[in-house]
Structure formats: structure tokens, C-alpha cells
Amino acid sequence: MTRSFLVDDDLTSAEQRAVLELAAELKVDRHARTPFAGPQSVAIIFDKPTLRTQVSFAVGIAELGGYPMAVDGTMAQIGTRESVADVARVIGRQVHAIVWRTYFQSDLEAMAQWSGVPVVNALTDDYHPCQALADLLTIAEHTGGLANSGPALAGRTFAYVGDGSNNMAHSYLLAGALAGMDVHIAAPADYQPRPDILARAQAIAAETGAALSVVEDPRLAVVGADAVATDTWVSMGQEEEQAAREAVFVPYQLDEDLLALAHPNAIAMHCLPAYRGKEIAAEVIDGPASVVWDEAENRLHVQKAVLTFLASA
């Protein structure tokens, strides 16, 4: 059966740990694995603006021995000009894997259903699992490494403040639960995580020993955290809501006062692009606690690990 990585919990806790261990190996020796040697081709489709995703997947696929074929989603018009299923059956006969950055999770699932090759979620409106894995690797690097056994980051505490209904919050809940971390989400009442996703994360947490909480007060979420993350208040496609969102999210800015409530050695995280003075203060993102450039680099290593894992699954 062809394996894909469409959402964080497509990996078990043990598989997530294995992927993170492989990513750490590939960070030390970038050419240690070449599953796409030949080269085999991997289609990278972009329906949304991209920088880190395009660069990290293109470089990563090349370093795995493959040929990264970038596809302009606005030209392809997948799901509009022709159905996702028809596109999947065409592309799947010509490439060895598909990476897709798009809007709807249901479209990604249809691509995986009909393509016959591994499909990787490079961001949808609901999840951003590759970024979550990159952030887990970054947390491990800055807080004592991967756990010796069991869930990858057992014993660590992670806090996220901001839009709890966006793709990063959802992936942090699922990936953090799989990693055995305590995950605290702070979000306004109207921007809480989707109940079904929270329920899935809680079921995972019951097995891995993680503890999850969702609150409105960002100060409660941050107290004692080893890592504190935030994300843009206005995601792609929400530009018309910008003024209303910024008014609601002002109390959730990750600034020096909020970060001071976390563990004294806490790291500050942001998946980028960042808007200084909005969701994160310039003094924080440019300060000594910031690990945002490590997060960006680690996209490369974890995505190579995911593709290697899927190629051998």
C-alpha cells in the first residue's frame, strides 16, 4: 500500500521519532540517502505563494538524487480546469512522488487516492505537518535532544499563542501529542482549534503521555514553557479580514514580557513569514531566544527524511 504524509498523525509516534532521527542524520550528512537516484522525478505543485517550501523541497529532492519538477498551480488549475482525480492519474504515471501546497485538505486526499504514488502535504488550510516536524527537530536541538526512548520529545512543554484555528495550531496539537510533549494553545474564543482535531490530539496524548490544554489567556499558556511559538494573524486567503483579526489578536503578540513568563531558557519560534510588531515583537524574533532560522533550515532536513521514509514504506 502506498504511504502518503497528508496530516501529522499519518505517522505513528514511533514513526515520527524515526523520521526525526533520520532528519538529524541527514543534517549531519546531507547526501547520506539517495532514494530518488536515477534520477526519479518528484512533482512539486504550488497553488499558494511560496519561498521556504519551494527552496527546501527542490534542494532536498535534488540531494536525495531526484529531479524536482516545479508545477505552477495557477497555470495547472487543478480542480478547476480538470478534476483532481484526473490530474492525479496523469501525474502519478509520470513521477515517483507528489508534493502539493494547496488550499483544501480534501483535494490533497483525492490526489493521494488516485495518483498511486506518495503524496506529501506542503501546506493546506487545515494542516502544515512538514513545518511541525521541522519545529519538533528544532525544539529537540535546543532543549536537550530527542528522548532516549518512547515519544521523541517527552517531558518538554510547548506553547502556541495566536490563531488557534489555523493550520499551524492544528499540526502543533497533533504532532506535539505524537511527540509526547505538553502542548498549550492560547487563542481568542472565536479562533479556537477545530473540535474534531483537538479530540484526535487528545486521543493520541492519552497514549503518549502528553498533556494538552486550550485557553484564552496567553499568559497561562506560556508559563514554564520550553518553547513558545506564534504565527501570522492573517493567513493566505484571509486578507479581507485583516483589520478585524488584528484588533482581536493584539493581546496575543509574542513580546518580551510574554516570553519572560516561560522557562528562563525558552526558545521563541515562528514558521515565517513574520510580521514584526504584529504577532511577534522585533526584539523577540531578532533576539537571543529566537530560533526561527533553525526552523527554516530544518524544513529541508525533515522533508528529506519524510520522502526517504515514504520511498521505503
Q: Which of 128, 156, 170, 270 is catalytic?
A: 128
Is position 6 annotated in a ligand binding site? no
Region of 257 please: left (phi>0), alpha (psi -120 to 50) or beta. alpha
Q: Is residue 89 annotated as a catalytic residue, yes or no?
A: no
Q: Which of 101, 156, 170, 200 is catalytic?
A: 101
Is position 131 annotated in a ligand binding site? yes
Q: How is residue 214 written as a grid cell?
A: 486550550
Q: How is residue 232 written as a grid cell?
A: 501570522
Beta strands in the chain (DSSP E): 41-46, 67-72, 97-101, 119-121, 157-161, 182-186, 212-215, 227-230, 267-270
Is position 190 annotated in a ligand binding site? no
- The values of phi and psi at residue 17, to 5°, are -60, -45
Is position 75 annotated in a ligand binding site? no
Residue corresponding to grid cell 483537538: 198
Is position 142 annotated in a ligand binding site? no
Is position 294 annotated in a ligand binding site? no
Q: Is residue 3 annotated as a catalytic residue, yes or no?
A: no
Q: Which of 156, 271, 301, 303 is catalytic?
A: 271
Is position 235 annotated in a ligand binding site? yes
Is position 167 annotated in a ligand binding site? yes
Q: Is residue 271 annotated as a catalytic residue, yes or no?
A: yes
Q: Which of 131, 184, 226, 245 is catalytic?
A: 131
Is position 101 annotated in a ligand binding site? yes
Q: Is residue 231 annotated as a catalytic residue, yes or no?
A: yes
Q: Which of 16, 96, 231, 303 is catalytic?
A: 231
Is position 231 annotated in a ligand binding site? yes
Is position 272 annotated in a ligand binding site? yes
Q: Report the 10 Å Cβ neighbour count for 28.
A: 8
Cα separations in angstroms, 151 against 26, 33, 177, 211, 226: 20, 24, 9, 13, 17
- Closest C-alpha to 82, from 55, 120, 110: 110
Q: Is residue 33 annotated as a catalytic residue, yes or no?
A: no
Q: Is residue 163 annotated as a catalytic residue, yes or no?
A: no
Task: Tell me the binding residues for carbamoyl phosphate.
Answer: 77, 101, 128-131, 271-272, 299
| Residues labelled catalytic | 101, 128, 131, 231, 271, 299
- Binding positions are 77, 101, 128-131, 167, 231, 235-236, 271-272, 299
Pick out the residues of the known binding site for L-ornithine: 167, 231, 235-236
